Structure 1
Amino acid sequence: MIVRRGDIFYADLSPVIGSEQGGLRPVLIIQNDVGNKYSPTVIAAAITSRMGKTKLPTHIDINIEDDPEQGLAKDSVVLLEQVRTLDKRRLREKVGRLSENLMPAVDKALLVSLGLAPRHLLLGEEPGRAVAASTLALPKEEEK
């Protein structure tokens, strides 16, 4: 099975404990392609179609009309606070692929989720107020 970063697969996430996303559900592969090729595991983020969930800076909206290649039946949200390492045997069929246009927002949401984003990127106009990950700006190479 060929797995690439940005692919969407159905995966069996059970068993779960507490608030973990579970069951057979779509996941976004977020691991790099070298790891995807050589490792028996992948790193993935759960996807939900429950659009009423609390909007967090770690959530990326997928609109099925704007991104038809992703293959999902409903508008959905990638939950980048629900990241898991999965054995590839948990992956079922490939659903589709997330648009390259959304991958920078995924990267920013991962920085937020893992606490790697500079503090000033996490704050909105009001001190202490978080902003959506899709509005964060990554520093340019020369600024790092």
Structure 2
Amino acid sequence: MLESKDDKITLLSNYVNWLIAIAAIVVAIVTLLYGYWGRKIKESEENAKVLIQNLTEQERKITEAQTTINKIIQSGDYVRRVEEFELELKRMKEQNSAEFKKLNASIQQNYKETNTSLSEDSNQSSMPFIKDNLHTKSDIVRGDIFLANIIMSDNGRKVVRPFLIIQNDIGNKHSSFVTGIPLISNATPSPLSIPLKIEDREQFAAIPLITSIKKSDLEMHITKLDDSKLNEIEKAIAFHIGRANIDN
């Protein structure tokens, strides 16, 4: 009977110990969670304080800026500056319009001079350029200048004039035609009339006269244009066909 009672007491004691152990574990877990979340809450509070400080500083700067703007508006300086800006904008528009009209007039004059020079050159014989007899038509490259039979008047009569090849070299090699610019002597420098020095003789590449002729119309090779002048002519062509501004 006593053993049975002792067994019950022992069993009860074991239950109590288990309950105490479980309670201790629960308390430990709660303590850990409280510590973790406590740190998180503290960090959040610190971040919130920093954010509030930043917002306060931004609000102060906005207030200062608004105060400055109000002072400018109230002082009348704002109105004066706006009026000055509008006047400057109007002046720039008028200046650009005048420059555009001047450029347009220059281009129109250039076309007229080119047509006049074309008529005068068609009545002149070709100048006695030195001919390069070693250069053949199969050797044509971009930038070459040939004497060529070119139709340069309304009556269809051909005249012999220097002719600058501007066609790409693939076409120069395989095509029976070549594209180029006749060189004229009676002209003035302009965006569409590029001065060239050909064997100490002043000639002008008349950009509006770009044309294609048969290779059979080429006579003899005179010289080859240097790259810098060829680039200048390329820019003038781009301007002529609307692919670039005159300043480019």
Q: Give the TM-score, by structure 2 length.
A: 0.41
- CA contact under 8 A between 2:189 and 2:195: conserved in structure 1? no
1:108, distance to aligned residue in structure 2 (A): 0.4
Structure 1 letter corresponding to 2:196: I
The reply to whether residue 80 of structure 1 matches residue 207 of structure 2 is: yes
Structure 1 letter corresponding to 2:179: I
RCO comparison, higher one (Cα < 8 Å, 6+): 1
Mean alpha-carbon deviation: is it higher for 35-44 or for 108-117?
108-117
Structure 2 letter corresponding to 1:57: P
For residues 115 and 78 of structure 1, the distance between their equivalents in structure 2, rounded to whole angstroms, comes to 18
Instruction: Name the residue aligned to 1:93.
Output: 220
Structure 2 letter corresponding to 1:81: P
> Helix, strand or coil for the counterpart of 2:142?
coil
1:80, distance to aligned residue in structure 2 (A): 1.2
The reply to whether residue 115 of structure 1 matches residue 242 of structure 2 is: yes
1:63-110 deviation per Cα after TM superposition (whole angstroms, max 9, x unaligned): 35xxxxxxx451111111110111100100000011112111011011
Residue 15 to residue 111, structure 1, CA distance change in 2 (3 Å): closer
Residue 87 to residue 106, structure 1, CA distance change in 2 (3 Å): same
1:56, distance to aligned residue in structure 2 (A): 3.2
- CA contact under 8 A between 1:9 and 1:26: conserved in structure 2? yes
Instruction: Name the residue aligned to 2:174.
Output: 38
Structure 1 letter corresponding to 2:180: A
1:14-52 deviation per Cα after TM superposition (whole angstroms, max 9, x unaligned): 37327x9951000100001011011000001010122xx
Structure of higher CA gyration radius: 2
For residues 60 and 54 of structure 1, the distance between their equivalents in structure 2, rounded to whole angstroms, comes to 8
Instruction: Name the residue aligned to 1:10.
Output: 147
> Helix, strand or coil for the counterpart of 2:146?
strand
Candidates 40, 60, 78, aligned match of 2:194: 60
Structure 2 letter corresponding to 1:108: K
Larger fraction in helix = 2
1:84-140 deviation per Cα after TM superposition (whole angstroms, max 9, x unaligned): 1111001000000111121110110111222222xxx23xxxxxxxxxxxxx32xxx
Note the residue ranges of structure 1 that are not aligned, 5 or more in a row: 65-71, 123-135, 138-144
The list of structure 1 runs, each at least 4 consecutive aligned residues, that deviate by more than 4 angstroms after superposition, is none
Instruction: Name the residue aligned to 2:184.
Output: 48
Instruction: Name the residue aligned to 1:131.
Output: none
For residues 237 and 143 of structure 2, the distance between their equivalents in structure 1, rounded to whole angstroms, comes to 13
Note the residue ranges of structure 2 that are not aligned, 5 or more in a row: 1-136
Structure 1 letter corresponding to 2:181: A
The reply to whether residue 26 of structure 1 matches residue 153 of structure 2 is: no
Q: State the superposition RMSD in angstroms.
A: 2.2
Structure 1 letter corresponding to 2:176: P
How many residue pairs match? The answer is: 111
Q: Percent identity among equivalent residues? A: 28
> Helix, strand or coil for the counterpart of 1:56?
coil
